[in-house]
Homo-oligomer: A and B are copies of this chain.
Amino acid sequence: MTQLRFALAQIDTCVGDLDGNADRIMQYAHLAAHGGARVVVFPEMTLTGYPIEDLALRRTFRQAAWDKANWLATELEADGLGDLYVAVGTVGTDHALDKPRNRMVVLHDGTVSAAYDKHFLPNYGVFDEFRIFAAGERSTVLEVDGVRIGVAICEDIWQDGGPVAALAEQGIDVLMTMNGSPYEEGKTHTRYDLAVRRAAEVHAPVIYVNQVGGQDDLVFDGGSFVVDADGTLLERSPMFVEHLGFFDLDTSAQHQTPGDIEPALDPDEEVYTACVLGLKDYMAKNHFTGVCLGLSGGIDSALVAAMAADACGGANVHGISMPSMYSSDGSKDDAADLAANIGAHYDIQPIEPLFNAFQGQLALEGVAAENLQARIRGVIVMAYSNSKGLLAVATGNKSELACGYSTIYGDAVGGYAPIKDLLKTRVWELSRWRNRAAQAGIGVGGLRIVGNESRGAGKPLPNGVMIPVNSIEKAPSAELRPGQKDSDSLPEYELLDKVLAAYIEHAHGRADLLADGFDAKTVDTVMRLVDRAEWKRRQYPLGPKVTALAFGRDRRLPVTNAFRE
């Protein structure tokens, strides 16, 4: 009988931050050894951060990553951890092709060894790996104390054939996978079903270690787990926090013994926490400690402010009320209440005098005059950002961004938009969930996410309410002209969001949408709005490429990139 203890190191890395990531690996390797592990496995591209996009094409970066892996191996041994098998992800180089590889290496006995290169390189959705990496061609089995550990990296288990099929033929005792799998509603089940299928294929348990943390426009949710050969869930780590899990493999047992299984999150809590973690990590990785945003009294800015308070604490949130001649008293009160609830800074900057100054020169009418109000507010928000060093957060939701119902350089300004992938109806649902959580005692900053206190009360909320009920229940309005309602320009959100979900998220065409039961007028309205809003969603000017390497399409670097030569 052989028993082998694995540690699942679910950590948060930063793209390009070789020093910081190496320190994190060191810290978790110590914890793993202290917990009695023989093998510790980290997420995909641990050392470099993930996804590194075109940064991988920089030869100097690959050299620096290689040097850092060797430094780590040496340091681990010097710290008395030479016996431990430390599986980390990094970038390698195919010297024949002069192309990078998405690589797993094992640090052991002071050396870097046992490289495995990712075989299936995803090239769809948010992934561009085939663009960047050369594909690995060999499967790899690591032997530790006589136990045969097959290895795979993320997409390798999402496609049939390839290294997993080869490992199934060779025979292994366990399949150990490192992953960088971005969050998506409902994906927990998909990953679990997939792992169950692969466990059956290799007749062995599957270890699934996933990255946690925000990286630019992606959020990695962690939720690492182990399933047995028969599909039984043996271990599950929490989502959205760094975590070290353990799994004891007994090669002589028919069935493995289950360990810690974290209960699943409420679906609203899950999405809310993903948004908070995305913002929190974007701030940390770009060295911001506070945010500023416009508080209109509407539900979008209220939810974003609540998320910001949970991400960085209410005292680091600067809310700016910017009432115009069309702002209702109710809206102003709701904005003030929200700021008080979360303990935010709260300033009032009326825009009417500024609006009048512009209008004295420009005499705008109609939509141009409405946009002017939004852009004056954008200027004020950016003034706070520039003068106080705050991250400007944008408050647009997916419904309005999809339909172009926003002003570019106006309400759309900011460095991060926490709810840009939430339909309006989801904004309401998450606001209600956050208030329920407040009633249950989860105060500002009390969510369970990386770097926050583990789930606790946080800063208590007055009256047990975070988001004013009025902001949730009133009819949505941009308040850019008297009596304006969103429903003047858009279908009601209950209907609109259903069409948007079908058209965008499920890629239904016009005929499909009609077959879905939507009326032709609504379908045509929504499709026209969405198809024409592409430029607004981008905001930045396109321009002709005339040199070998322009910015934009042919030089794709992560925004959050800590690498410095």
CB distance from A447 to the nearest CB of B (A): 14
**A557 lies within 8 A of chain B by Cβ:** yes
Bound-state CA distance A421–B279 (Å) is: 32
**A504 lies within 8 A of chain B by Cβ:** yes
**A71 lies within 8 A of chain B by Cβ:** no
- Which among B60, B375, B386, B552 is the interface contact of A509 at CB below 8 angstroms? B60
Query: By CB atoms of chain B within 10 A, which of A219, A282, A362 has the most?
Result: A362
Q: Are A271 and B361 in touch, CB under 8 angstroms? A: no
**A336 lies within 8 A of chain B by Cβ:** no
Q: Are B371 and A386 in touch, CB under 8 angstroms? A: yes
Q: Pick from A101-109, A172-180, A408-416 the stretch touching chain B.
A: A408-416
CB distance from A383 to the nearest CB of B (A): 5
The 0/1 profile, CB within 8 Å of B marked 1, for residues 355-387 of chain A is 001101110110110011001101110110011
**A77 lies within 8 A of chain B by Cβ:** no
Q: Are B387 and A364 in touch, CB under 8 angstroms? A: yes
User: B residues within 8 A CB of A379?
Assistant: 358, 372, 375-376, 379, 409
The 0/1 profile, CB within 8 Å of B marked 1, for residues 522-564 of chain A is 0000011001001101111111111111111111011101011
Bound-state CA distance A360–B352 (Å) is: 13
- Which among B130, B553, B557 is the interface contact of A217 at CB below 8 angstroms? B553
Given A126-B554, A368-B387, are A415 and B547 neighbors across the interface (CB < 8 Å)?
A: no
Q: Are B358 and A383 in touch, CB under 8 angstroms? A: yes
Query: By CB atoms of chain B within 10 A, which of A275, A286, A371, A553 has the most?
Result: A553
- Which among B131, B413, B550 is the interface contact of A421 at CB below 8 angstroms? B550
- Which among B182, B217, B412 is the interface contact of A552 at CB below 8 angstroms? B217
Q: Using CB atoms, name the residue of chain B closest to A371.
A: B386
Q: Are A130 and B126 in touch, CB under 8 angstroms? A: no
User: B residues within 8 A CB of A535?
Assistant: 286, 415, 559
Q: Are A386 and B357 in touch, CB under 8 angstroms? A: no
Q: Are B130 and A219 in touch, CB under 8 angstroms? A: no
Q: Are A371 and B361 in touch, CB under 8 angstroms? A: no
Query: By CB atoms of chain B within 10 A, which of A387, A541, A555 has the most?
Result: A541
Given A217-B542, A544-B218, A544-B278, are A354 and B365 neighbors across the interface (CB < 8 Å)?
A: no
Given A59-B509, A379-B358, A379-B379, are A219 and B546 neighbors across the interface (CB < 8 Å)?
A: yes
Q: Are B361 and A544 in touch, CB under 8 angstroms? A: no
Say which size band chain A's interface belongs to. Answer: 35 or more
Q: Are A557 and B534 in touch, CB under 8 angstroms? A: yes
User: B residues within 8 A CB of A361?
Assistant: 349-350, 353-354, 380
Bound-state CA distance A42–B377 (Å) is: 50
Q: Are B505 and A547 in touch, CB under 8 angstroms? A: yes
- Which among B271, B376, B415, B555 is the interface contact of A546 at CB below 8 angstroms? B271
User: B residues within 8 A CB of A378?
Assistant: 375, 409
**A402 lies within 8 A of chain B by Cβ:** yes
The 0/1 profile, CB within 8 Å of B marked 1, for residues 391-411 of chain A is 001100010011000001100
Bound-state CA distance A541–B378 (Å) is: 13
Bound-state CA distance A425–B12 (Å) is: 43
CB distance from A211 to the nearest CB of B (A): 14
Q: Using CB atoms, name the residue of chain B closest to A422.
A: B546
- Which among B124, B409, B510 is the interface contact of A60 at CB below 8 angstroms? B510
**A521 lies within 8 A of chain B by Cβ:** no
Q: Are B543 and A421 in touch, CB under 8 angstroms? A: yes
**A184 lies within 8 A of chain B by Cβ:** yes
Q: Are B382 and A409 in touch, CB under 8 angstroms? A: yes
Given A361-B349, A387-B364, A527-B565, are A538 and B540 neighbors across the interface (CB < 8 Å)?
A: yes
CB distance from A203 to the nearest CB of B (A): 30
**A418 lies within 8 A of chain B by Cβ:** yes
Bound-state CA distance A417–B538 (Å) is: 14
User: B residues within 8 A CB of A539?
Assistant: 539-540
Bound-state CA distance A408–B548 (Å) is: 25
Q: Are B362 and A358 in touch, CB under 8 angstroms? A: no
Within 8 A of B (CB), among A81-98: none
**A263 lies within 8 A of chain B by Cβ:** no
Within 8 A of B (CB), among A157-194: 182-185
**A274 lies within 8 A of chain B by Cβ:** yes
**A419 lies within 8 A of chain B by Cβ:** yes
Q: Using CB atoms, name the residue of chain B closest to A535.
A: B559
Q: Are A60 and B564 in touch, CB under 8 angstroms? A: no
Residues of A within 8 A of B (CB): 57-60, 123-126, 128, 130-131, 182-185, 214, 216-219, 271, 274-275, 277-279, 282, 286, 349-350, 353-354, 357-358, 360-362, 364-365, 367-368, 371-372, 375-376, 378-380, 382-383, 386-387, 393-394, 398, 401-402, 408-409, 412-422, 504-507, 509-511, 527-528, 531, 534-535, 537-555, 557-559, 561, 563-565
Q: A-B pairs with the 3 shortest C-beta distances?
A: A278-B544, A420-B543, A417-B543
14 contacts between A and B (CB under 8 A): A60-B509, A126-B545, A126-B553, A362-B380, A364-B387, A368-B387, A371-B386, A379-B409, A415-B542, A418-B543, A421-B544, A422-B546, A537-B551, A539-B539
Known: A362-B387, A416-B543, A419-B543. 4 other contacts (CB 8 A): A131-B131, A353-B360, A354-B357, A413-B541
